[in-house]
Amino acid sequence: MSDAIPLLGYSDKLSGRPGDVIGFKVSSYLREDFSARLVRIISADPNPDGPGMIEEEVPSAFAGNYPSRAQPFFPGSYVRFEKRLELEAGRGLTLEAVIWPTLINGQQQVVLAAGEAALLLNGDGSLGGELGGYRFSTDVPLKERHWYRVRFSYDPARKQVTLWQRVTGPTGDVGEVVSRSAGASVDLGKEVAVSIAARQVDGPASGHFNGKIEAPAIYASFEPDEAALLARFDFSADISTTKVKAVGPAELHGNLVNLPARGMTGSLWDGSEHCWRHKPEHYAAIHFHEDDIYDFGWETDFSFTIPEDLPSGVYAARIGSGEHEDAIPFFVCPSRQGRLAPAPLCVLVSTFTYSVYGNHARPDFAPSWKDEFARWGAYPHNPAEHQDYGLSTYNYHSDGSGICHASHRRPLFNMRPGYVTFGYGPGSRHRHFQADSHLIAWLHAKGCDYDIVTDQELHDDGIEAIRGYKAVTTGSHPEYHTAETLDALQGYRDAGGKLLYLGGNGFYWRVALHQSEPGAIEIRRAESGIRAWAAEPGEYYNAFDGAYGGLWRRNGRPPQALAGVGFSAQGQFEGSYYRRKVEKDDPDVGWIFAGINDEILGDFGLSGGGAAGFELDRADPRLGTPDNVRVLASSEAHGETFVLVPEEKLTHITNWPNEPEQDLLRADMIYFDVPGGGAVFSTGSITFCGSLPWNNFDNNISTLLGNVLDRFLSD
């Protein structure tokens, strides 16, 4: 790779407990060895106006030098078969499929290949065929995003090749094109490699197809004769898996590579059913992309067995050689057996959100952004400049379709200490991993003992992952959740737990995890919400678990029902302040403001310049905010870029809450008690945590959070 980053790595897991083994995979184009060491991350923000980057060296068994080696990766999805297909000499061959091409890009794309024979989409968009050294074309370009039944046949007796295409769809087949060529003579009698959506024999696959493929089939005859069927591949079966089931005597079952999208509408879909589980024959297509990527598949260079005595926290394997360096973060959770003196506080790290945003190439990125970052000593690489490393679900595939799969089993540039998200706005301009380190740095500065639990443990272990903690707190942006993680948080809260929601736009999108591919996450951006792209009609149900995707609000679980507030407005990455709404000596909630005489809270901060900004959540009883909620403070004076979120809009002049729109552009800081002894404190703003380190952690936001935690941890 000509633009390959000289030194880069990733881990096979983002988190683990004592005794778990984490493997680190490194690609180095350098001639010298690289070194590896373990550090604990306290602050990942390089902004000199804040605490700066803070890391502690930690002894580890893997510390040392390792030989450099370049490890390539191969994007593009397709179907791979371990078994080969036996073709008989003298018999004909037909390759057939139904296709919906989405990108005519000047490159030859493989629909179905069997040894020396292939059914193709030529660079000009015409249907093509390949047989030994012969190439064929209809010279009639197919249209993107139209369904076609296509066929490539060879008759060895007549030495004739036929290409055939017909426009098809739920109303039937129309518009036929036939192209015949004579003179081809190829002996097909041998065992051959078969592949779908690319050509793959022994090495890396090539000629990746962009678009949907349905019902590919191989016949040992010049016509699609059922008596001569070798294999027909039913993509409507086992949709939640990576398995491809074959019908026919060849028993040629395959496996998907790089997770193309399943549960996609096929040529028969007519809108009569929107869930693939109810009418799978309407969802018999797979959408392949030349840039699909799931797991880079690099070999492990060194491993780390988490020791029993390593404190729970945020860590990284730092690798370096000369001027080149990288840091591979991971999270250490407590032992399942607990510890002798368990931490009173659990910090829930939003690794699902980190992965979903992983390698987000912002459309407004400008190389000039990096000039200031360099002065800070910030992380030097940006996914917008290295899009071949795989993008996020906030980006598009090369064919214009939205990316619906995320994975951490590849280097994630924006999950690096020192990475800066924005090139504009006040403060540090961080999100996610780096922004959450403002909370971690604050906990260390205040001497607050804590454990780390990530979304993965919460999903896997449910409420048991957080049971026993006096309080559980989120970071700045816990946006993506499974039913299991929400159930665990709801169960913890309702069983007497104290929950702190220190962010905005939380508990918003529903995601699904793949049952066999570790780290794979699916998001279907269905119907509503602030969306980077919109799912196609009929494709709102997850393939991974068959559940309706999209907003949790549209799944009957609005964020207000858990945390008391939910997404209301968004603007540029800038922050404002809160205005206190209760008296300091209020008998029920006055303790939250102990030591604070200010009416204005958080008119400062490293994130956007203020504690209330960027993405704002408000209380709304109609969406589940409890009747006993107390609005402690609300934000105001937001800039002109702030708008109401789409799910709240009805027309250009009306909205769902039926209130003046300007009144809805706010963050509500709230508190409420839960029957059974539980309680919830929510801030309703993504930029809240960025105000904690301000003025060396001495400010009214820091004092306020300290008051809440002191009460929660002492109960």
Residue 705 has pLDDT above 90, yes or no: yes
pTM given for the model: 0.96
What is the rounded CA–CA span in Å between residue 642 and residue 665?
A: 7
Q: In this structure, what token pair is assigned to residue 443?
A: 């906990």
Residue 30: burial class (beta carbons within 10 Å; 0-12, 13-18, 19+):
middle
Helix (H) or strand (E) holding 708: helix 700-714
pLDDT of residue 499: 98
Residue 152 has pLDDT above 60, yes or no: yes
Q: In this structure, what token pair is assigned to residue 520?
A: 């794979």
What is the rounded CA–CA span in Å between residue 360 and residue 384?
A: 7
pLDDT tens digits, residue range 331-358?
999 997 765 566 899 999 999 999 999 9
Tell me if 232 sits within 8 A of 247, measured CB to CB.
yes
The percentage of residues in the chain with a pLDDT greater than 70, rounded to a whole number, is: 98
Q: 515-538: string of b/e by CB count within 10 Å (b at 16+)?
A: eebebbbbbbbbbbbbbebebbeb
Mean confidence (pLDDT) of the chain: 95
Which residues are CB-contacts of 446 (< 8 A; sequence separation ≥ 6)?
Answer: 697, 702, 706
pLDDT tens digits, residue range 363-387?
999 988 888 888 899 999 999 999 9
pLDDT of residue 133: 83
pLDDT tens digits, residue range 47-75?
999 999 999 999 999 999 999 999 999 99
What is the rounded CA–CA span in Å between residue 111 and residue 664?
A: 51
CA 491 to chain centre: 26
Rg (CA), the chain: 28
Which residues are CB-contacts of 556 (< 8 A; sequence separation ≥ 6)?
Answer: none
Span 400-424, average pLDDT? 96
Residue 171 has pLDDT above 80, yes or no: no
pLDDT tens digits, residue range 273-293?
999 999 999 999 999 999 999
pLDDT of residue 119: 98
Give residue 2's pLDDT band: very low, low, confident or very high (50, 70, 90).
very low
CA 540 to chain centre: 16
Q: Give the closest residue to 428 by CA, choosing from 474, 393, 379, 395.
A: 379
What is the pairing mode between strands 324-332 and 15-16? parallel
The percentage of residues in the chain with a pLDDT greater than 90, rounded to a whole number, is: 90
User: What separation in angstroms does the CA of 405 have from each of 183, 305, 389, 540?
Assistant: 46, 29, 14, 14
Q: What share of the chain is helix, strand, coil (3-state, %, to 5)?
A: 15, 35, 50
pLDDT of residue 341: 60
pLDDT of residue 336: 79
What is the rounded CA–CA span in Å between residue 715 and residue 712?
A: 6
Residue 16 has pLDDT above 50, yes or no: yes
Residue 92 has pLDDT above 90, yes or no: yes
Least confident of 189-193, 513-517, 686-690: 189-193
Tell me if 75 sits within 8 A of 388, measured CB to CB.
yes
Span 420-447, average pLDDT? 95
Span 688-715, average pLDDT? 96
What is the rounded CA–CA span in Å between residue 89 and residue 70?
A: 43
pLDDT tens digits, residue range 573-622?
999 999 999 998 999 999 999 999 999 999 999 999 999 999 999 999 99
What is the rounded CA–CA span in Å between residue 671 and residue 589?
A: 8
pLDDT of residue 1: 44
pLDDT of residue 471: 98
Span 33-52, average pLDDT? 96
User: Dihedral (C-alpha) 488, 493, 495, 498: value to the nearest 10 degrees?
Assistant: 130
Residue 159 has pLDDT above 60, yes or no: yes
What is the rounded CA–CA span in Å between residue 241 and residue 340?
A: 42
pLDDT of residue 339: 53
Q: In this structure, what token pair is assigned to residue 196?
A: 């779908």
Residue 181 has pLDDT above 90, yes or no: no
Span 107-129, average pLDDT? 96
